[in-house]
Structure 1
Amino acid sequence: MNFNYFRDLLKTLKNKEITSEDEKKVVLYFIKNISVGEILALRELEILGVKNPTRTIRSLILKGVLEKGEGCYNLAKDIREELFRLKHRGVIRI
């Protein structure tokens, strides 16, 4: 696998200043799931060991990593688009 394909995605995420371990867990969760209902996301993130999922999600929304939809949380559009480009190139499966 050629990791150069991930360069733009990693650059985008680095620019968002994801600092805490909980933020990293939440970002990986949303990279895997893209969009998740509010209640389910909070429950699953607690199970994954995120100490305060609501606060962490709010922080990532303010940093532009996540977006709040109608009853759900989504990976931000620019990050989703980069993931879909990687999928289209056959680098990853979503």
Structure 2
Amino acid sequence: MTDDGPTYDPKTDTYVGRFETEPASLAVIEALATVRHCEPTELEPLYSSVDPDALDRLVASGSEKLRIRVHIDGFDVVVTGSRRIEITPPE
């Protein structure tokens, strides 16, 4: 995840961030922990919602059109092939 983490967009009620070199699975965990103001170890294990290895492989494939949506701890999380993460909190 970039140094400043995901930023909040009040118009869409979504947190948006980008990641560069780390695996998508790690970036999702870091971004979600930032949004929830907790440590990554306090989150539900990622594998409860998505196969972390499969997520990493799909994003690493480089397809710019890729869009993966999963629900983690009540949050709607979208990961794109352009290495973007969108997190929508529960209502």
Fold-level match, TM-score > 0.5?
no
Question: 1 or 2, which has the higher strand percentage?
Answer: 2
Q: Please identify the structure whose Cα radius of gyration is greater.
A: 1
- Which structure has more relative contact order (CA 8 Å, sep 6+)? It is 1
Q: TM-score range by the shorter chain?
A: under 0.3
TM-score by length of 2: 0.26
TM-score by length of 1: 0.26
